[in-house]
Structure 1
Amino acid sequence: MRMRMWVLLLLVLAPSSVNGDTDQSHASALRIMYQGLNSPGQLTKWTSNGGDPCGDNWKGVKCSGSRVTEINLSGLGLSGNLGYQLTSLTSLTNFDMSNNNLGNEIPYNLPPNLQRLNFAGCGFHGSLPYSISLMTSLKYLNVAHNQINGELQDMFGKLSSLSTLDLSFNLFTGNLPESFSLLSRATDMYLQSNKFTGSIDVLADLPLKNLNVANNKFSGWVPSQLKNINLQKDGNSWNSGSAPPPPPGTPAGGRNHGNMSPSSTKNTGGVNGGVIAGIVISILVVGAVIAFFLLRKRSRKAHTDVEKMENQPFASLASEPHGIQELKSVQASIKAFEIPSSVNLKPPPLERHKSFNNDDISAKPPKKAPTNAMSYSIADLQMATNSFSADNLIGEGSTGRVFRAQFEDGKVVAVKKINSSAGAGIGISGVLSETFMDIVSDISRLRHPNVTQLVGYCCEHGQHLLVYEFLKNGSLYDLLHQSDECSRKPLTWNDRVKIALGAARALEYLHEVCLPSVIHKSVKSGNILLDSELNPRLSDCGLASLVPDADQELDSIAPEVSMSGHYTIKSDVYGFGVTMLELLTGRKPFDRLRTRSEQCLVRWATPQLHDIDALAKMVDPALKGLYPVKSLSRFADVIALCVQPEPEFRPPMSEVVEALVRLLQRTDMSKRTLGNDVRPHDG
């Protein structure tokens, strides 16, 4: 009886809306989104303070229990932005904001577990955010009829669930990314009315039913696999005539992308081509070995016979019954196992040995052809740099010197001349220049707005050079620590956060988008270059193998690296934290001119990062106190996480990016700058 009374009392006292209460993080994200959209009246029942999205049936919002699962606000004439807490919507599977006036960049911090994302016709510009590349559940992506530009990054490797991709009517340029070949469930793809170039071979093995590539700048031949689907291809520069036959070793029916799906290999009579090739090659190898030992044995016997017949006339080779006859027998046996012309097989290249003559160099496997990189002659680069004169020297690092180069047509680039000692451990010399070509090929595939773009390369006469885009504002190190303080304006607080965010996005791309992950190994302010609008570009990406561990600067590397010499993505995070400290304080990572206790920046600054009063005294004097205090404090919190001594406690770069995005958006919203009377409760 008492138990029933307690239950009844609880039911009476319990709030009537308990079943409708929305998860607080979800409700907060929608309120901030409402504010970002300028609190429009067409979003009925939405509020910026309080309210219950699930319980009060906010327009366009669907929930499961207390968690928001769908947002559909298509065609409502909305304007503004989507706020900065979208990543909190972890249960959201359908997000449709199509046909609104959101003319800005697509927000970086999107809901992570989306299955359908529709941003068509929103007036977005800029590039696709890399957070999309981490949406492993995404099945439908539509960003058509926007103004998104630039090259598509290689960001589709994890999107194996994607079935529909619509990028039509934008301003995309460049070749289709190789990771398109991993879209193993793609059935519908719409790429029309862009500025794509190159071939569409990367789409050959996809299970496409509908493909529209019309009105681009594609060239080459349309793969035969795509001719039996609903294909629209007008408005391109296709080659006429029949396509050339596939190169030797290419599986019948398609290209070999390296990561082939099980369905791309077909059995023939129960034994596939790979097994046949293995058997035939094994027989050939065994036959060759037998022939070698038979000839060797006979040659020894022949040598003995020659000694016995020293005074007799030399017998002709044709009359010698030993060796030649048996060799013919072996050749006949091998010929019996010759590969039929209908089987297109290519044996693996022979392993090179030092005893081989240089004339045998043609037996080596071909080098990988660099993608999107031009081959320059050493003569061209000498003319453009005035024979690499000191007047054109703009930088120097452990891998080599960097020169400004200007060609006759006025184009300016930066040329990195690799030191002869760089990469000695991996053999960048002589016939092993293929290693350098492999590096060039890998670097040329790195495509990100915050990574310096490789323009070309030179590999001649023992010289190895890399040609990059030229960035007129130089490095962040020079801008922060230049001796002539009057030559440039100091960086504002927002500039510093913007630079940190761009560099963080570059590292996130290398660590979490590239497959396999790319460890930079030398993350520092000297390797962060700035364009005319102070947008950062991380340089020297992909050159880690050329940098000897001993050459790394001890003032900016992680503690575990100085102990073991072993680099990981976590040691990159540490280097990024040191760079953030430079942005915060304006100090060098190591400064011998300071007192002993302040020479090492990390050691001096780390104990003070959570002390607001000490933090205010650490800030770069060039800022003259113009910064929001809360923004400064949050910036310091991110630094503290990145420079932790234990690598396992340092955050992944995606979390750093998310924190900096929130910080920058809150700073923009507050629009406050404070004087020297900094107070913790302001900002």
Structure 2
Amino acid sequence: MMRNWRKALILVLCAVCILGFKPRFANGETDQGDASALGLMYSALNSPQQLTGWTANNGDPCGQSWKGVTCSNKRVTKINLSNLGLSGTMGYSLLSMTSLTELDLSHNSLAGDIPYNLPPNLQRLNLEYNQFTGGVPYSISQMPSLQYLNLAHNQLQNALSDMFASLSSLSTMDLSFNSISGSLPQSFQNLTGISTMYLQNNQFSGTIDVLANLPLDKLDVSNNRFTGWVPAQLKSINLKTDGNSWSSGPAPPPPPGTPPATRNTRKHNSGSNGSTSNSGSSGGSSSSGIGGGAIAGIVISLLIVGAIVAFFLVKRRSRRSSSDIEKFDNQPLAPRASNEVQEIKSMKSSSSFDSQALDTPISISLRPPPIDRRKSFDEEEFNKKPIVVKKSVPPPTNVKSYSIADLQMATGSFSVENLLGEGSFGRVYRAQFGDGKVLAVKKIDSSALPSGMSDDFVEMVSNISQLHHTNVTELVGYCSEHGQHLLVYEFHKNGSLHDFLHIPDEYSKPLIWNSRVKIALGTARALEYLHEVCSPSVVHKNIKSANILLDAELNPHLSDSGLATSIPNADEVLNRDDAGSGYSAPEVTMSGQYSLKSDVYSFGVVMLELLTGRKPFDSTRPRLEQSLVRWATPQLHDIDALSKMVDPALEGLYPVKSLSRFADVIALCVQPEPEFRPPMSEVVEALVRLVQRANMSKRTTGTDQGASPRADNSHDGHDYM
């Protein structure tokens, strides 16, 4: 009995020893998510020897004291790998490192895009002196604790997204020595904790007015393309502005009723952060020191002045002869009145008044009329458009102006043989010029843009010419002669995605899965650029496979970007032409109103086309399968049903996990409620994760191209519609 008891005791002690003794890193002293993220980063950095202690798999950064890694409570809190000669990329799974507050990878040779998935609780991010390309990632907008941001001396491009609204803690931002373009985003005014900003040696344009009320101590905007005037509020700080195209002469006076200019500084309340956080973006009277009574007094005074001016104008007009009055009364008043109202509205929306001040329509009527506006109201003067509208957008200078003769010769007098397609706003022709260059010419219908709207057309060209993105079809030139309006685009001989999916020919092979994912990601990036980088955002309104053009490597290019936002009756035309197409979001069908979220829905439909190979609406199919969204949506989360939905042309050659993730993104985009659809930046992130996580070569054949280019002389597919 005693012997059995001793055996039992020995077994228990052995079990305790086995279970209680663990290697330091078997279970690890590091959070599993942090360890996995750093392992992936190590692989992305090409597993450098200088990172002592690091390993790609089963590592324990906190327990094994990895070089440059600081931990607290089993979580990685700081990473400092500065000046170690590192190459490769940053990896893609840093989002899980929720305790990381400092990340310093500066002075290395890291390349590629800065990843979308950055640690959300960073306080300091330093990536200066690397070789990063692409744009500033939108995920920075999700870092409310960020205090220090340094992306200087890289190769960043594109415009800044309007993503700074939540960064009130940011005190230092350095974006210098890149190639960032576009105007400064309006959300800069929310940087109420900023003291140092370096923007020099980029390609920024527009004014710097948005910086006027920030609590800046140092600002360098030198060597850019800024215009306008330097705000008076900034002239008392450490400021560098050389190398720009500033306007000469004194700055124009502010509109009547504008509060005196003051600069938001943190010195008013003994450095209290709380006192500054609300003053950067208000733009109202509270930050100017003018009370409600003072504003009321100013408004009353201006009304009195306006009444006196109006009295003398009426008195002067009453002196005209009865024949002159009769002639004036016969003039077309309605268009003039409409333009005046639009001018007032536009001035309201762009001014810095608060909403109460703007409710008083004094922006035009209270100003003394310019001398040339005091001429007699003859027909020629009266039919002119408001001066503010005419000069609101400069004429296009970065695209070529073609003559009608040039385009007629290149298109064979717009012959049927050169007709590429016909869309909602006009026909598109193939144009071959004397130097051998081939372009696509879109001839806009007079019903969409009447001949008398040349000024509107020039404004439209100016707006579209500002759109520059790898996946957006580039505007090359324009023509505005003899009442004709034409746009000249780059040409992509592989035609449209619609043709590849639905009109195969002897020259093309089915798109392989890799190519379909690449097309979806490139198109998503184009929409992300239009929605979240352009300021103001551009709603495309006409997302469909016929408007996604493919180059020789099957990279997608979204056509007609910015066109529908510039044509006056575009919504009406598109609603008529797209009725029953299967691309329109439910709210567009109901109300006719387009939005960023309706673009997201249409993009989801395009992804469904890529997945199934079916048209969005096909009347030749059984009744329950005619609407692609209605038929496919209930099956997107059923892996067995999903495998039956896949385009038969793929012949089963696709990774199952990749297919499932692709379907998950579609389900998010085509939700019937617009508020539940994700922004395009999140769609891009999901597709990037899909590409990076999936080993997309396991079950596929061929290269990324996946199809043979179509013959150069074929006219099948340039549907710029």
TM-score, structure 1 length as denominator? 0.72
Distance 1:190 1:563, change over 3 A: closer
> Where do 1:75-154 residues align within 5 Å?
75-132=83-140, 135=143, 137-148=145-156, 150-154=157-161
1:243 corresponds in structure 2 to 248
Other structure's SS at 1:491 match: coil
Whole-angstrom distance in 1 between the partners of 2:445 and 2:692 = 43
Of 456-465 and 115-124, deviating more is 456-465
1:279 corresponds in structure 2 to 301
> Where do 1:311-390 residues align within 5 Å?
346=367, 357=379, 359-362=381-384, 364-367=386-389, 368-370=392-394, 374=399, 376=401, 379=404, 381-382=407-408, 384-390=410-416
Query: Cα offset for 1:665?
Result: 0.4
2:502 corresponds in structure 1 to 481
> Where do 1:119-518 residues align within 5 Å?
119-132=127-140, 135=143, 137-148=145-156, 150-155=157-162, 158=165, 161=168, 162-170=170-178, 172=179, 174=181, 176-177=183-184, 179=186, 182=189, 184=191, 187-192=195-200, 196=203, 205=212, 209-212=217-220, 216=223, 218=225, 223=230, 230=238, 236=243, 243-247=248-252, 261=283, 276=298, 279-280=301-302, 282-285=304-307, 288-289=310-311, 292=314, 346=367, 357=379, 359-362=381-384, 364-367=386-389, 368-370=392-394, 374=399, 376=401, 379=404, 381-382=407-408, 384-405=410-431, 413-422=439-448, 429=450, 439-440=460-461, 442-458=463-479, 461-484=482-505, 486-514=506-534, 517-518=537-538
Amino acid at match of 2:546: G
1:667 corresponds in structure 2 to 694
Amino acid at match of 1:417: K
Whole-angstrom distance in 1 between the partners of 2:368 and 2:94 = 53
Whole-angstrom distance in 2 between the partners of 1:40 and 1:283 = 75
Query: Out of 584, 601, 606, which is 1:574 matched to?
Result: 601
> Where do 1:624-639 residues align within 5 Å?
624-639=651-666
- Determine if contact 2:162/2:532 at 8 Å carries over to the other structure: no
Q: What 5-or-longer segments of structure 2 have no aligned partner?
A: 1-18, 264-279, 326-365, 702-721
Query: Cα offset for 1:369?
Result: 0.9
Whole-angstrom distance in 2 between the partners of 1:15 and 1:262 = 63
Whole-angstrom distance in 2 between the partners of 1:180 and 1:469 = 33
Of 200-209 and 656-665, deviating more is 200-209
Of 446-455 and 487-496, deviating more is 446-455
- Determine if contact 1:385/1:404 at 8 Å carries over to the other structure: yes
2:14 corresponds in structure 1 to none
The answer to whether 1:547 aligns with 2:571 is yes
- Determine if contact 2:478/2:488 at 8 Å carries over to the other structure: yes
Query: Cα offset for 1:184?
Result: 4.9
- Determine if contact 1:40/1:78 at 8 Å carries over to the other structure: yes
Distance 1:496 1:54, change over 3 A: same
1:527 corresponds in structure 2 to 547
- Determine if contact 2:190/2:281 at 8 Å carries over to the other structure: no
Query: Cα offset for 1:411?
Result: 5.9
Distance 1:622 1:530, change over 3 A: same
- Determine if contact 2:162/2:535 at 8 Å carries over to the other structure: no
Amino acid at match of 1:526: A
Whole-angstrom distance in 1 between the partners of 2:700 and 2:209 = 54
- Determine if contact 1:585/1:618 at 8 Å carries over to the other structure: yes
State the percentage of identical aligned residues: 57
Query: Cα offset for 1:248?
Result: 6.5
Distance 1:217 1:288, change over 3 A: closer
- Determine if contact 2:512/2:700 at 8 Å carries over to the other structure: no
Whole-angstrom distance in 1 between the partners of 2:300 and 2:369 = 10
Distance 1:132 1:417, change over 3 A: farther
Whole-angstrom distance in 2 between the partners of 1:386 and 1:155 = 45
- Determine if contact 1:138/1:159 at 8 Å carries over to the other structure: no
Whole-angstrom distance in 2 between the partners of 1:264 and 1:444 = 40
Whole-angstrom distance in 2 between the partners of 1:497 and 1:347 = 60
Amino acid at match of 1:474: G
Other structure's SS at 1:537 match: strand
1:280-299 per-residue CA deviation (whole Å, 9 max, x = no partner) reads 35432355258748987999
Distance 1:567 1:262, change over 3 A: closer
Whole-angstrom distance in 2 between the partners of 1:285 and 1:467 = 51
Query: Cα offset for 1:212?
Result: 4.8
Higher relative contact order (CA 8 A, sep 6+): 2
Other structure's SS at 1:398 match: coil
Amino acid at match of 2:45: L
1:230-277 per-residue CA deviation (whole Å, 9 max, x = no partner) reads 55667x5868xx92343565789899xx98856999679999899757
- Determine if contact 2:121/2:146 at 8 Å carries over to the other structure: yes
Size of the alignment, in residue pairs? 602
Query: Cα offset for 1:503?
Result: 1.7
TM-score, structure 2 length as denominator? 0.69
- Determine if contact 2:185/2:535 at 8 Å carries over to the other structure: no
Whole-angstrom distance in 2 between the partners of 1:179 and 1:436 = 27
Distance 1:656 1:219, change over 3 A: closer
> Where do 1:48-63 residues align within 5 Å?
48-53=56-61, 58-63=66-71
- Determine if contact 2:208/2:226 at 8 Å carries over to the other structure: no
1:33 corresponds in structure 2 to 41
Amino acid at match of 2:151: V
Whole-angstrom distance in 2 between the partners of 1:32 and 1:445 = 38
Amino acid at match of 2:310: A
Query: Out of 623, 627, 651, which is 1:600 matched to?
Result: 627
Whole-angstrom distance in 1 between the partners of 2:677 and 2:245 = 50
1:429-474 per-residue CA deviation (whole Å, 9 max, x = no partner) reads 4766665566555545545433334455555554444444444433
Whole-angstrom distance in 2 between the partners of 1:230 and 1:382 = 56
Query: Cα offset for 1:584?
Result: 1.6
- Determine if contact 2:225/2:244 at 8 Å carries over to the other structure: yes
1:178-212 per-residue CA deviation (whole Å, 9 max, x = no partner) reads 55964755544445555x37677568736654455
Whole-angstrom distance in 2 between the partners of 1:136 and 1:348 = 48
Other structure's SS at 2:112 match: coil
Query: Cα offset for 1:168?
Result: 3.6
Distance 1:232 1:644, change over 3 A: closer
Query: Cα offset for 1:504?
Result: 1.8
The answer to whether 1:589 aligns with 2:589 is no
Whole-angstrom distance in 1 between the partners of 2:434 and 2:293 = 59
Distance 1:432 1:382, change over 3 A: same
1:538 corresponds in structure 2 to 558
Query: Cα offset for 1:664?
Result: 0.1
1:280-320 per-residue CA deviation (whole Å, 9 max, x = no partner) reads 354323552587489879999xx9xxxxxxxxxxxxxxxxx
Query: Cα offset for 1:408?
Result: 5.9
Query: Cα offset for 1:377?
Result: 5.9
Query: Cα offset for 1:590?
Result: 2.6
Query: Cα offset for 1:500?
Result: 0.9
Of 271-280 and 539-548, deviating more is 271-280
Whole-angstrom distance in 2 between the partners of 1:26 and 1:190 = 32
Query: Alpha carbon RMSD of aligned pairs, Å?
Result: 4.8
